[in-house]
Amino acid sequence: MNQENQLQNRMTVIDKEVTWDKTQVIMSKTNAFGIIEYANEVFVDVSGYEDYELMGQPHNIIRHPDMPKVIFKVLWENLKQGKNFHAIVKNLAKSGRYYWVITDFEIAKDGNGVIVNYFGRRQAVPQEVISLYIEPLYKKLLQIEAASGVEFSEKYLIGFLEEKKRSYVEYIKELIYEHEKAQSKFAQYEEREEEEEEGGFFRRLFKR
Ligand SMILES: Cc1cc2nc3c(=O)[nH]c(=O)nc-3n(C[C@H](O)[C@H](O)[C@H](O)COP(=O)(O)O)c2cc1C
């Protein structure tokens, strides 16, 4: 993020959620360096930026200061290896309001296997998952980063996940799955195996 964006973002943060249609999918496409080349209408609506303000900008234009650095570190480690990654992210709209999403990526490579584009899809996350599990964890990671740096927030995250015997993606999958099950949102939960395969779970979530 360039200095100007960061300064602007810090000045405009408002502790209010963006009102948006949470059945929609927010999409964007970037080059290999995370520079925005396309944003769908939902992205434009939810972020509050015009598309001409987004094109050519680094994706951290919507980075929220409440997001711990370690989450993006792990996200980029996966993306650069050509691996999809599901992260729960708090984003910052132009208005200063926030919106929480879960990510899904597709990675496009050229004939030589070099990454040329990333396609990001984002869905809403149940509020309960955010307030009961993600906010407390991210707050802790942010505090550790402020005190000791990202090296130690990463160590904490590894320890936290080791205790749960889950990877980060497995952990958030389980949080959302358990929430859906408790809500009995889908009748088929009765018949579905408790341990739904990870890929299948996220394909269903992103309806693809
Ligand atoms: C396709 C794609 C979509 C992304 N979507 C988001 C997003 O919704 N919110 C976000 O903060 N970062 C997103 N990122 C990550 C940003 O590029 C960036 O790493 C992040 O905002 C943290 O900023 P920093 O790397 O400057 O610390 C995305 C990256 C890619 C490649």
Q: Which atom of ligand 1 is nearest to the CA of 118?
A: 1
The rounded Å distance from CA 129 to ligand 1 centre is: 21
Tell me the longest C-alpha to C-alpha distance in the chain. 52
Structure tokens at 44: 């434009």
Break the chain into its structural domains and give their ranges. Answer: 3-123, 127-205
pTM above 0.95, yes or no: no
Residue 79 CA, distance from chain mean position:
13
Which residues have C-beta atoms less than 6 Å from ligand 1? 1, 28, 30, 34, 59-60, 62-63, 69, 72, 76, 79, 89, 91, 118, 120, 122
pLDDT in tens, 59-77: 999 999 999 999 999 999 9
CATH of the domain spanning 3-123? 3.30.450.20
- Amino acid letter for position 147: A
pLDDT in tens, 83-131: 999 999 999 999 999 999 999 999 999 999 999 999 999 999 999 999 9
The rounded Å distance from CA 149 to ligand 1 centre is: 19
- The predicted pLDDT at position 143 comes to 98
State percent of the chain over pLDDT 70: 88
Structure tokens at 145: 């980063």
Q: Which atom of ligand 1 is nearest to the CA of 63?
A: 11
Bridge partner list, 39: 28
Q: Which atom of ligand 1 is nearest to the CA of 67?
A: 11
